[in-house]
Structure 1
Amino acid sequence: MICPHYDAQRCRSCTLIELDDDQQLAGKQRQCVELLGPGIDWLPPVRSAPSGFRNKAKLAVAGTVDHPTLGILDPGGAGVDLRTCPLYPASMQAAFDPLARFITRARLEPYNLATRRGELKNLLVTQSPDGELMVRFVLRSTEALSRIRKHLPSLRDELPALVVATVNVLPEHKAVLEGEREIVLTDTDTLRMRLNGLNLHLRPQSFFQTNTEVAAALYRTGRDWVAEANPRTVWDLYCGVGGFALHVAAPDREVTGIELSAEAIASAEQTAADSGLPGLRFAAGDATDYALSAPHAPDLVIVNPPRRGIGPRLAAWLEGSGVQNVLYSSCNAVSLATDLAAMGSLRPVRGQLLDMFPQTGHYEVAVLLRRI
């Protein structure tokens, strides 16, 4: 991939950009094999398009109200404009200039890290497979809310694909993307993510994989592995918006999805209701607490934790639970290896690397564990 921002040293986030696609994929596969050990039947890795694959842009806003920058901040806190970053598809890039003009029109003063003045901190833009957009304005306060409401029709005229717009309030001066409070400005409050014949509903604060095509492949892999095991009861822990749970639902199968985020659970429940899939139940809660307090273990458990992994408590529960099969989807093979070492009775028998994040050292890896 050719990137003028990398070549000009404005952004060096794509740490593997100087390697070709085959070298990147081979290195990631080699790392997986070394970390997870022998005895795993590795399926062919899932490739990603090298560019234009991101469905979400996390844009720090800087500069001035008349000349805002959308991208990242340099070490001194100044804005680096990355509207033409090749990781974003052209259809998403086309939304950035209208959003910059809207910032000027609505007089949304970019937040200045050094002076701690200004209102607009970040723009979070998500695109569905159908090209529809969710735009979230992360503000320090609600001072500009009336101006955003006033000028929103003009933005929608420029961006007909905009279906969900919100204001997220982040009053604290800290290095996070968003706050807890979300104000929906449109009649529609979910973005439809069409995936493998399902219409997943994505709410503003719900997590979804960054690479839609590779996410679809991940869920197909999970669906196939679970179908082969043919469990009667399944738990999907860290279920997010229900991707795995919805894909493995089947007649005469009970599937329970557990996720800490109430927003994500609401998304999953909406998709389940719309789809009419049988045997699905979702609940908001901590995955480990749910497992440890449940009176009975299911036939199969799916875990898709954050980078830190499932941790020693859940790993110990799985080890002693009697669960026959575990599908573990990980974005960090190092923490995955640590968790596997704590579950000696559950042996990884099948694996697949999915190149969710080309140009970087990150990836997704799915492994199927069977009790020995």
Structure 2
Amino acid sequence: MQCSYYDAGLCRSCTLLEQPYPDQLADKDARSRSLLDDPTIAWLPPVASAPSGYRNKAKMVVGGTVDAPTLGILDGRGRGVDLRGCALCTPGIQAAMPALAAFVTLAGLAPYDVPARSGELKYVLVTEAPNGELMLRFVLRSEASIPVIRANLDALHRALPRVAVVTANLLPEHKAVVEGDREVVLTTRDTLTMTLGGIDLHLRPQSFFQTNTDIAERLYAQAREWADEIGPRSVWDLYCGVGGFALHLAAPGRSVIGVEASVEAIESARRSAGDLGLTEVRFESGDATRFAMSAGDAPDLVVVNPPRRGIGAELAGHFERSGPRHIVYSSCNPVSLAKDLAMMPSYAVRRARVLDMFPQTLHLEVITLLERR
């Protein structure tokens, strides 16, 4: 993939850009196999992504001035570097960037100056659904700019008819985070519909969703294929997010429980289950480890899709002592996956597969099927 920003030294986030994509994929597969280090694992062929245009969410730092805003990153001195043409983003997100920059000027939204700690607009977060609809989130220093955004929503919709959800996120603190806790919805709709595998997942502003829509669909399909082979009567989906795994694993006569710390994500998952009429699928808000350790008998199958740190010693130890027959472990960090597996020697990795969720970078997703020995 050719990138003028990379060539000019403006952005070096894509650390593998100079490596041919087939070699990137092969190296990720080899690295994952080496970390798990078990010749008995049946490795499926790695799943390739489109090398560019795959990111369904852009997190753009707003810099520059009201009349000449930048959307991208900050340089070492806190000045805006414009990356609105980033080729990793979906074509729909790329196409929306000029209109978003123009809206910053139209609404008079002063970009936040990090060194001076002045200004209002810190980030613009854009998510594109498979049907082309967009969610826009303006991360603001205070409520002062909300009225002017409301007043110009019609102009925003004229410029970007595909915008379905607009929110203001409030981040008053001066700290290195992307968003604050408070979200103000400015449109009638408050969710973006992400349709994967024929299932509508309702994405709320602060809910996690996989970055690569096509690979996420393949990921859920792989888990469903393994589950259907196993035929569990009961399933837990821990760290379930908006319910991607749980809803794809639902089947007649199969009880599924999804657990997630985010209340917003659980609300989305419940809505999806209701839309589908799934009476044997339910979702609970809470800590995954606490749920597993207090729930009593283990189910036939547990699905875990934890953050990069992995499931950790406490949950791994619980599974080792009293866990289910099978675990599907989907990991965005094979290093923490290997550490967790080392704490569960009673489980053997029967199958594994690398899915390239993040081309041009070292990051990846690996899904494994574990079986108690």
Q: If the TM-score is normalised by the length of the shorter chain, which range does it land in? A: over 0.9
Is this contact kept in 2: 1:201–1:268, CA < 8 A?
A: yes
Amino acid at match of 1:239: C
Counterpart residue number, 1:139: 140
In the TM superposition, residue 92 of structure 1 has moved relative to its aligned partner by 1.4
- Count of aligned residue pairs for this structure pair: 372
Secondary structure at the aligned position of 2:206 is classed as coil
Q: Give distance in 2, aligned partners of 1:324 and 1:349.
A: 12
Per-residue deviation, 1:277 = 2.5
Query: How much has 1:322 moved relative to structure 2?
Result: 3.8
- Kept in 2, the 8 Å contact 1:255–1:279? The answer is yes
Secondary structure in structure 1 of the residue aligned to 2:118: coil
The reply to whether residue 264 of structure 1 matches residue 265 of structure 2 is: yes
Q: How much has 1:187 moved relative to structure 2? A: 0.3
Equivalent runs, 1:279-290 vs 2, <5 Å: 279-290=280-291
Determine the C-alpha separation between the residues in 2 that align with 1:278 and 1:343: 33
Letter matched to residue 175 of structure 2: K
Alpha-carbon shift at residue 296 of structure 1 (Å): 1.6
Q: Which amino acid aligns with 1:25?
A: L
**Distance in 2 of aligned mates of 1:330 and 1:295:** 25
What SS is found at the alignment partner of 1:166?
strand
Gaps of 5+ in 1: none
Shift of 1:89: 2.3
Q: Does 1:8 align with 2:8?
A: yes
Paired residue for 1:237?
A: 238
Q: CA deviation at 1:109?
A: 0.4
Distance 1:344 1:325 in 2: 13
8 A Cα contact 1:251 1:278, kept in partner: no
Match of 2:55 in 1: 54
Range with bigger deviation, 274-283 or 252-261: 274-283
* 1:316 and 2:299 aligned: no
SS at 2:366 equivalent? strand
Decide whether the 8 Å contact of 1:250 with 1:278 is kept in 2: no
Structure 1 residues 297 and 110, CA gap change in structure 2 (3 angstroms): same
Alignment-derived partner of residue 333 in structure 2: 332
1:1-372 equivalences under 5 Å are 1-38=1-38, 39-372=40-373
Structure 1: distance between partners of 2:165 and 2:220:
25
Q: Which runs of 4+ in 1 moved over 4 A?
A: none
**Percent of aligned pairs with the same residue?**
59
Deviating more after overlay: 83-92 vs 334-343: 83-92
What's the Cα RMSD here? 0.6
Is the Cα–Cα contact under 8 Å of residues 164 and 185 in structure 1 kept in the other structure? yes
Q: C-alpha deviations, 1:149-195, integer Å up to 9, x for none? A: 00111000110000000000001110101000000000000000011
- 2:35 and 2:279 map into 1 onto residues whose CA distance is 38
Per-residue deviation, 1:21 = 1.0
- What residue identity is the alignment partner of 1:9? G
The alpha carbon displacement at 1:361 in A equals 0.5
Deviations 1:14-61 (A, max 9, x none): 000101011101110111011001211011111000000110000000
Paired with 1:236 and 1:168, the residues of 2 have a C-alpha distance of 29
Any idea what the Cα deviations from partners look like across 1:231-269, whole Å, max 9, x if unmatched?
111000000000000000011111000000000001100
TM-score, normalised relative to structure 2: 0.99
Quick check: 1:259–1:285 contact (8 Å CA) kept in 2?
yes
